[in-house]
Chain A
Amino acid sequence: MVFNFFQIAFYRPAGGCLLGALAVLLATSPAARAQAPRPDTLTTRAHRLPEARVRAVRPSRFAVGTAQWAVDSLALSQYRAGTVADALAARTPAYIRNYGPGQLASISLRGTAARHTAVLWNGFNINLPTLGEADFNLLPLNGLREVVVQPGPAAALYGNGAIGGTVLLDTSPDFKTSRLRATAQGDLGAWGQRGGSATVQAAGGRVAVRAAASYRQADNDYPYLNPEVSGLVRRYATNAALLHQWSLSQDVTLRLGAAGELTAGTWLTDVDRQIQVAAGAANDHARERDQSRRLLLGYRQVLANGGQWAARAAWFEDVLDYNSDQVARSNSAVQTTQAQGEYTRPVGGRATLRLGAEAQHFAAVVDGYGGAIGENRGAAFALLRYDPRASLRLTGNLRQALLPAGLAPLTPTAGAEWDIFSQPAPTPDSITSSPSVPHQLTLKANLARTYRAPTLNERYWRPGGNPNLLPESGGGAEVGLRYQRALSRATAFTGAVTAYSQTVNEWVQWLPNERGIYTPRNLRQVRSQGLEAALELRYGRGRYAAHGRARYAFTSTQKTQGTPDDPDPTGQQLAFVPLHQLSLSLDQTWGSWQLCTTLGRTGLVYVDNSGLGYLPAYWPLAATAGYTLRGAGPLAFTALVQGSNLLNLSYYTYSARPAPPRALLVSLRVGWR
């Protein structure tokens, strides 16, 4: 349903022309992209670029009144040897439960569980259908154009599981890149990390292509200090090797005639890893193989009335094979076949309406299900964006999903943004990174209901699967202020603050039943209340440019009600939800030099829902220094040195999972143009 694949948007300039080129300016500007959410309708372009066509309407157009944390391409380029988990942990206040380098890394947004975050790749949900969540260490960053986190409930827009928030991954090709561009990179790091990656992108005439491949492996036999009877004893991470991890993604967009656009994409990932032994636990020699094959095909047609329709289909296969000394074999393979169709059209010059539907079919062969199972789900949605005037933007969205057990809760969303004051921009004479307004204060509000369908494991696992499990449902409200100020063409300041309250009902937990068999049940209501703040400063002078960000999240999450069977107490901060989460980053470039620094603070988390045990807060400091050598020809050579845990602190990223000490990663990149 999410069509950010095209990285484009409708645009209606003040002159009354219904269609135009919008996103070019924004797409050229990482700065503007990093700001959330951007005021599409305020962006004006005096002329059109040759490739400008009727753009696909990005779903974010209907996400009015919400916050976004974007990780832009410069930031992403530092983590090319890493995964989405690395980027989110360093660059956003999302809490990543990281079991270790390359190990399971799941997300918690606004105090919710990992299954409460929808992860979309070019608009398709890639959470494992068995578990209903994603392991972000299985998602290499290389090849991703953009990573955006939209915290908060948004099922009307993003579908199943968008309760705590949504992570949007984009690999779409880009028509801006008119010539062939390619890079190749090799990485060598501590604890036996070695890897490499390559990217190619090109666009010409009617075709745009993008391809990326990466490989890495690591021994991860790093030392840590373990408190034992004789004092602190040096131990080594055991059974923690990343045996291999490769990823291949390819995306092609083909323009057919004046009004048609065909896209095809693949993303293949394959990870073979040992599962790290908990500090203090016996080695059970666990090993896991994860393979995902994702294909998508889409067609978009622009209509004479200014509207457009799109149809897309995707096929995923997710394999997860696990074995250990205790579990001889637990294999699973799920094939997801899905289709989406939508029709978008302008309404009366000030509004955009989208109507759509989607269907999914899951075919799973999972050891724990005792055989093959199939499940179908469907949904229909209507999205409306209405801008009564340029300074007031409204959305009203609605989705109704149909699940095997019946209708899911109806999930409407209402959003508004009002520019309390806005000093208009001087007429832009170039498409440089100057923000569109020098001075603007915007009030935002969003009200949403949301849901999560029971996962396949929750329904079919034997023993214990509960076919009568209700979907989790929830709702929330948020209010925010965003202030932007451009001080010069290269200097700008943005500040944003959001307060929210949201609830998850029918919260699912696996608990033993009367026969002692674990079964998932709808047990409780959980409420999160919090505050998110972001400050961003961009400064440039001569060859020097700096971009600093501070993002902070205060998250108070407690069980508010439970069934009599629910053993957890109310009024207690939930396990693995930090009250305070902070991420600071400063990216600086000076001519051919770059220095990117991140400092986070992950707050104290309890390890159980009674607040008995805890993991202390920690401060990971990391930096990347780089130098690019450009010769006369098209080649450029970049050397990068990346240091992690620079303060060499001892801390735990998860229960009994000590973090690696200070470590270095050296990368050499060759770029063609």
Chain B
Amino acid sequence: MKNLSSFYLRPVAALAAGSLLLASCESKRDQVAPTPTGPGTNVYITNEGALTKSTASVSFFDKTTKAVTPDIFQAVNKRTLGDVVQSMTVYNNTGYVVVNNSNTVEVVALPGFTSVTTISSVVQPRYMVTSPTGKGYVTEWASATAGRVSIIDLATNTVTGTLPTGRNPEKPLCYNGFVYVPNSDENTLTVIDVAQGKVTNTLTVSDGPSSLAVDKNGNIWVLCEGITKYDPNTFAVISSTPGALIRFAPGNPTAQAKLPFTTGSPSKLRISSAGDQLYYTLGKSEYRMDVTASSLPTTPFISRSFSALFAFYGFDVDPKDNTLYVLDASFTGASKLIRYNSNGTRLDSVATNVGSNGAVFY
């Protein structure tokens, strides 16, 4: 039997020993933490990752070298951001990464992305806006019946209070001492007085307000997506209202100019650094509109030939030079960042990470 075991166990032992070497054949591709240079050259791409897999990430794009670090948070901090990064906001030299399905805001030092703290008392957070007075306002869907805003002291990174909003508050705007919160499952904006720290007004706009911009003339633009309701069981469309682009002067918010959309659901209102050109996404196209125009543009500014990627899942404008950052998202593999110059000429394209939805500049 001794002979047997030595002869026949040898291949078994060899297989077992060989398997110890297997790890070396598997490519881990651990990312090296980048060393970003000073402000002005850094772009952070927020990536949702796959829902309930906690694979959300932020990709780092160096405008100088064009190099991409697919997950800078993981590379620097050796842990994942969590589940579904919705957005990121920069305040001075600090980044606030809103992690929707983790109910957290991850605070990182810029440009290196070293973790500072985690704010974890938010519920279904979406976007954050900051005031010059050092306050952050995080919109939260919170519940099916009402949303809310958490006020964050940016010096201590703690929540100092909450304010009620309408349903599904989205990307807010802070302008002239007021925070305008678009309630996307309603037709209202909740207006917060920064100095008083309370809600002072609720403005009626059109159905589905989701993003805002302020132009060179000090007018506020509200992009309303319209609201489509589905039967919870059959998923059949019960009702659908059209989108609209609305403009008002903050001093007289009830006097609104309304540019209605006939079809589709426009999203992601952005504005050029000079405050003269508006951008929004409709279907697989990006539209550009002068703030003085009296009607919506009829031809797209940029069209992406439709692919299985979510075309224009993210769109942002670099305030430094108006370079346009288009993100075509994939949820099974790397998304794509395609850059265009301000004339709409395609510059270049790089792979990012799973579910890219926006670009933040620092």
Query: A residues engaging B (CB < 8 A)?
Result: 227-229, 278-282, 328-329, 367-368, 370-371, 462-463, 487, 491, 493, 495, 509, 511-512, 514, 516, 521, 523, 533, 535, 537, 539, 541, 548, 550, 552, 563-569, 572, 575, 579-580, 582, 584, 601, 603-604, 607-614, 616-617, 654-656
Nearest A residue (CB) for B81 = A280
| Chain B residues with CB under 8 A of A656 | 52-55, 80, 83
Asked, given contacts A607-B53, A610-B333, whether A617 binds B23 with beta carbons under 8 Å apart, the answer is yes
Q: Is the CB of B25 within 8 A of A580?
A: yes
Instruction: Verify if B38 is at the interface (C-beta below 8 Å from A).
Output: no
Interface contacts (Cβ under 8 Å), in number, total 174
Nearest A residue (CB) for B1 = A541
Q: Is the CB of A611 within 8 A of B27?
A: yes
For B277-301 the 0/1 string (1 means CB < 8 A from A) is 0000001100000000000000000
Asked, given contacts A514-B283, A655-B53, whether A612 binds B102 with beta carbons under 8 Å apart, the answer is no
Chain A: minimal CB distance from B167 (Å): 15
Nearest A residue (CB) for B232 = A328
Chain A to chain B contacts (Cβ below 8 Å), 9 pairs: A229-B118, A514-B306, A563-B308, A567-B336, A608-B332, A609-B332, A612-B333, A612-B334, A613-B74
Instruction: Verify if B94 is at the interface (C-beta below 8 Å from A).
Output: no
Q: What is the CA–CA distance of A583 and B102 in the complex, to the nearest angstrom?
A: 35
Asked, given contacts A514-B283, A567-B308, A567-B309, whether A608 binds B333 with beta carbons under 8 Å apart, the answer is yes
Q: Is the CB of A568 within 8 A of B54?
A: no
Q: Is the CB of A487 within 8 A of B4?
A: yes
Chain B: minimal CB distance from A547 (Å): 12
Instruction: Verify if B19 is at the interface (C-beta below 8 Å from A).
Output: yes
| Chain B residues with CB under 8 A of A368 | 235
Q: What is the CA–CA distance of A603 and B28 in the complex, to the nearest angstrom?
A: 11
Q: Is the CB of A612 within 8 A of B53?
A: no
| Chain A residues with CB under 8 A of B54 | 278-281, 655-656
Q: Is the CB of A565 within 8 A of B55?
A: no
Chain A: minimal CB distance from B255 (Å): 34
Q: Which of B101, B234, B332, B336 contacts A575, CB < 8 Å?
A: B332
Asked, given contacts A487-B4, A608-B334, whether A371 binds B55 with beta carbons under 8 Å apart, the answer is no
Instruction: Verify if B70 is at the interface (C-beta below 8 Å from A).
Output: yes
Q: Is the CB of B102 within 8 A of A281?
A: yes
Nearest B residue (CB) for A599 = B16
Chain A: minimal CB distance from B336 (Å): 8
Q: Is the CB of A612 within 8 A of B26?
A: no
| Chain A residues with CB under 8 A of B308 | 509, 511-512, 521, 523, 563, 565-567
| Chain A residues with CB under 8 A of B218 | none
Instruction: Verify if B274 is at the interface (C-beta below 8 Å from A).
Output: no
| Chain A residues with CB under 8 A of B19 | 552, 580, 582, 601
Given contacts A491-B1, A565-B307, 17 further A-B contacts (CB under 8 A): A229-B118, A278-B52, A281-B82, A370-B234, A370-B236, A462-B234, A462-B235, A462-B236, A487-B4, A514-B306, A567-B332, A568-B330, A569-B334, A575-B332, A610-B333, A612-B70, A656-B55
Q: What is the CA–CA distance of A609 and B117 in the complex, to the nearest angstrom?
A: 31
Q: Which of B313-353 contact A (CB under 8 A)?
A: 328, 330, 332-336, 351, 353
Chain B: minimal CB distance from A215 (Å): 29
Q: Which of B200-255 contact A (CB under 8 A)?
A: 231-236
Q: What is the CA–CA distance of A550 and B353 in the complex, to the nearest angstrom?
A: 38
Nearest B residue (CB) for A279 = B54
| Chain A residues with CB under 8 A of B26 | 579-580, 603-604, 617
Q: Which of B12-31 contact A (CB under 8 A)?
A: 12, 15-16, 19, 22-23, 25-29
| Chain A residues with CB under 8 A of B351 | 610
| Chain B residues with CB under 8 A of A512 | 308, 310
Nearest A residue (CB) for B26 = A604
Q: What is the CA–CA distance of A610 and B334 in the complex, to the nearest angstrom?
A: 6
Q: What is the CA–CA distance of A487 and B4 in the complex, to the nearest angstrom?
A: 9
Q: Is the CB of B22 within 8 A of A603?
A: yes
Q: Is the CB of B233 within 8 A of A367?
A: yes
Q: What is the CA–CA distance of A282 and B99 in the complex, to the nearest angstrom?
A: 10
Q: Which of B4, B50, B101 contacts A608, CB < 8 Å?
A: B50
| Chain A residues with CB under 8 A of B124 | 282
Q: Is the CB of B118 within 8 A of A228?
A: yes
| Chain B residues with CB under 8 A of A462 | 234-236
Q: What is the CA–CA distance of A475 and B222 in the complex, to the nearest angstrom?
A: 55
Chain A: minimal CB distance from B157 (Å): 11
Asked, given contacts A491-B4, A539-B4, A567-B333, whether A550 binds B12 with beta carbons under 8 Å apart, the answer is yes
